[in-house]
Structure 1
Amino acid sequence: MAQTTPNHTQTVSGWAAHDSSGKITPYVFKRRENGIEDVTIQILYCGMCHTDIHFVKNEWGITMYPVVPGHEITGIITKVGSNVTKFKIGDRVGVGCLAATCLKCEYCQNSQENYCDQVQLTYNGIFWDGSITYGGYSQMLVADQRYVVSIPDGLPMEVAAPLLCAGITVYTPMKDEGLLEKDSARKRIGVLGMGGLGHLAVKFAKAFGHHVTVVSTSPSKEKEARERFGADDFVLSTDLTQMQARKRTMDFIINTIPANHSVGPYLELLKVNGILSIVNVPEKPIELPSFPLIFGKRVVKGSIIGSIKETQDMMELCAERNILCDIEVVQTDQINQALERLEKNDVKYRFVIDIAGQHNQKSRI
């Protein structure tokens, strides 16, 4: 394992954490030369994900410092390799969580490369050449064309960035259950938590006419859930009377809650044969009581991001149906403040870093 290889000759300015304090500081490092399958991307925007906090603070115990976070990247292609057929110079593109996979296994061969057991991430991963990957908190990125998607003209680059992780994370499990088809039967959907992922889940579900209930520990979220995002119902999860009143009313629930919790009370909201999809990663293992499962024939499923094909399909859908992430744009000198606020869930609803410094309004932190 090496931070770089002899092929890493391009000097890049970025922002990195160097220890578990998680403090982000300017960092100059090397990226590889543009290979025959690669595209070089001038980064314009990079979304900030809660996963970034886990990595910069080594909360999962796997961080390789220095770490340059960022896997919600949008920008413009400035160079293409000789084998590149999908893109040309000047194209608007995005890069999400994937940097490399084996390309040979059954999952890679069937557009499920996000489940390849050799998957390597956009940052804190080990690329094919043995180097450590660095993410989008930087001015430039070199990416293999097979892990890059086009950004439709109808999507502003700053609001498209969070779709590359937050968006695809909630899109995929809903698509898998047939909820995002033009002729989808109207279902009753629960969304646990209304943060960066949750508010997008509400938007996807409402775009296809489903009945949506937001379940939250924050009573202050009710007005926005109903008036801003069009939720049909709101449940305060700490109110046992409200929870009991919605028992066995939902067909599908997507769990985006980042805090430690038991899923038992939420399983009771599902109808018989209902599905709970887990897309969140709390610090500690989720409690999964048996009785709500076996007395309701309920299913608990996991889902992680999506394939490149699914990500491209989602981008097209978002452009077609005007499904946009609600964001706060911050400048590069505000990264640490934004991470502190993100850790407190004090953002509506996703921070996006203006890497190129071209956004016309500097947000307040």
Structure 2
Amino acid sequence: MLTVNAYAALSATEPLAPTTIERRDVGPKDVLIEIRYAGVCHSDIHAVRGEWGQLTYPQVVGHEIAGIVAEVGSEVTRYAVGDRVGVGCMVNSCRKCENCLAGLENYCLAGFTATYTGLDRDGTITQGGYSTHVVVVEDFVLRIPDAISLEKAAPLLCAGITTYSPLAHWNAGPGKKVAVVGLGGLGHLAVKVAHAMGAEVTVLSRTLAKQDDGLAFGAADYRATADPDTFTELANTFDLIINTVSANIDVDAYLSLLRLDGTLVSVGAAPEPLPVSVVSLVGNRRSFTGSTIGSISETQEMLDFCAEHSIVPETELIAAKEINEAFDRVLSSDVRYRFVIDIATLA
């Protein structure tokens, strides 16, 4: 076992604090990664505060991991010491169900093994990327292209794939009108990716406070949803709407913005059920659906796409000791647009 430094939640109510955790020995198919950077996702906050179910503490979170291969198992063929790699939201799956066999591990019927709070193959609880090292089976390790710095790559492993996957699946591209709800950690990447795919992008945000940023990221239009005229003027406009916010929204109002056969996709997880009128769906054959991260192959595709199109997140680098302050700032929307922890400050 390898003892490593980490920042962990000790309970649902206490601040995160420095500690040490154990990583399993490197098995034949495992990769030991020296973590250089870890992104801070809103999901990390939900998890440590017990908002998505009871946890076993101490718990280390973080599923936007970028680093360097430090050791490989005897049967590893894809990676070598010194390679630039990343780990996203999952570190294993059943490998046997219909979805896994189709290469869609993120929809594993048994539930994929989450990078943190998951039940690992040895019966332990997985611990995430707010730590100096992690051991992951090679099939769930991603290669980070040289064109993307490790610092910028980290948020792509969650925020990037979470938005790329629905945009690719619903064929965002030339001739398509795409709206992005919310311009936060996910939303700003959705705008950049959709624009690079060739779609005409509109940002739908509560106010116009980030309008200049949205237009700079590639949006052709930026509208305030607090203005009721927005929903009147944009009725029957979009082929695809990506909802990136985790707050409750008026689903019927957003469905009214879709043209015939348009789709509203939620990637943000609202805390309460979202009511929807069937009339909003049948009138223009609209769809309301959801999407979660992406498969390993699609995540690699996303990284390569971002490298090709020079897409990187807007980040603010912080030291490990600033994690609790960063959590508070995320909750108050005081970040443009993703915090990234310099793991060297944990060493």
Does the pair score TM above 0.5? yes
Tell me the equivalent position of 2:314: 326
1:188 paired with 2:177, answer: yes
Residue 88 (structure 1) aligned with residue 80 (structure 2): yes
- Correspondence 1:56 to 2:48: yes
Which amino acid letter does the alignment assign opposite residue 159 of structure 1? K
Describe the superposition over 1:247-289 as per-residue Cα deviations: whole angstroms up to 9, x where unpaired: 0011100000121222111111100210111111121122222
Q: Bigger CA drift: 110-119 or 127-136?
A: 110-119
Give a deviation string over 1:159-182, Cα, whole Å, max 9, x none: 100000000000001111122xxx
Specify the alignment match of 2:213 in structure 1: 224
The 1:292/1:256 distance shift into structure 2, 3 A limit, reads: same
The equivalent of 1:122 in structure 2 is 115
**TM-fit CA distance, 1:22:** 4.8
Deviates further, 86-95 or 341-350: 341-350
Q: For residue 143 of structure 1, what is the aligned residue in structure 2?
A: 136
Instruction: Write the distance in 2 (CA, Å) between the matches of 1:279 and 1:153.
Output: 28
CA distance in 1, matches of 2:276, 2:60: 34
Answer yes or no: is the 8 Å Cα contact 1:42–1:140 preserved in 2.
yes
What secondary structure is seen at the aligned counterpart in 1 of 2:118?
A: coil
The DSSP-based 3-state class of the residue aligned with 1:29 is strand
- Structure 2: distance between partners of 1:247 and 1:328: 36
Indicate the residue corresponding to 1:44 in structure 2: 36
Match of 1:237 among 217, 221, 225: 225
Native 8 Å contact 2:160 2:186 kept in 1: yes
Q: 1:101 aligns with which of 90, 93, 96?
A: 93
Structure-2 residue corresponding to 1:152: 145
Which residue of structure 1 lines up, in the alignment, with residue 157 of structure 2? Answer: 164
2:104 to 98, 112, 116: 112
Which residue is equivalent to 1:19?
11
In 1: Cα distance, 2:107 partner to 2:219 partner: 32
Partner of 2:201: 212
1:352 lines up with 2:340 in the alignment: yes
The yes-or-no answer on 1:291 pairing with 2:283 is no
Q: Is the 8 A contact 2:32 2:136 kept in 1?
A: yes
Contact 1:235 1:243 in 2 (8 A): no
Report how far residue 241 of structure 1 moved: 1.1
Confirm whether residue 270 of structure 1 aligns to residue 258 of structure 2. yes
| Per-residue deviation, 1:295 | 1.3
Corresponding residue to 1:249 among 214, 221, 237 = 237
Provide the rounded CA distance (Å) in 1 between the counterparts of 2:306 and 2:174.
20
Q: CA deviation at 1:208?
A: 2.2
Q: Would you say how many aligned residue pairs link Structure 1 and Structure 2?
A: 345
Tell me the amino acid that sits aligned with residue 297 of structure 1: R
Aligned partner letter, 1:199: H
Specify the alignment match of 1:308 in structure 2: 296
Secondary structure at the aligned position of 1:265 is classed as helix
Shift of 1:316: 0.6
- Which position in structure 2 is the counterpart of 1:279? 267
> In 2, distance between residues paired with 1:262 and 1:83?
51
Q: Moved runs in structure 1, 4+ residues, more than 4 A?
A: none
Structure 2 Cα separation of the partners of residues 242 and 168 of structure 1: 29
Distance in 1, matches of 2:307 and 2:126, equals: 30
TM-score, normalised by the number of residues in structure 1: 0.92
Structure 1's 59 and 274: CA in aligned 2 closer, same or farther, altered over 3 A? Answer: same
1:336 and 2:324 aligned: yes
Q: CA–CA distance in 1 between the matches of 2:10 and 2:278?
A: 42
CA contact (8 A) 2:174 2:200 kept: no
What amino acid sits opposite 2:123 in the alignment?
G
Which residue matches 1:4? none
Alignment pair present for 1:73 and 2:65: yes
Whole-angstrom distance in 2 between the partners of 1:61 and 1:135:
17
Counting aligned pairs with the same residue, the percent is 45
Instruction: Report Cα offsets for 1:192-244 as digits up to 9, x if no partner.
Output: 00100000010011112211110011221222212x21211111111111220
Counterpart Cα distance in 1 of 2:15 and 2:278: 41
Structure 2 length-normalised TM: 0.97
Look up the equivalent residue of 1:126 and give its one-letter code.
Answer: L
Identify which range, 113-122 or 39-48, moves more after superposition. Answer: 113-122
AA paired with 1:100? Answer: N
Q: Matches of 2:312 and 2:21 in 1, distance apart?
A: 33
* Structure 2, unaligned runs of 5 or more: none
Distance in 2 separating the partners of 1:263 and 1:344: 24
How far apart in 1 are the matches of 2:2 and 2:163? 35
* One-letter code aligned to 2:55: T
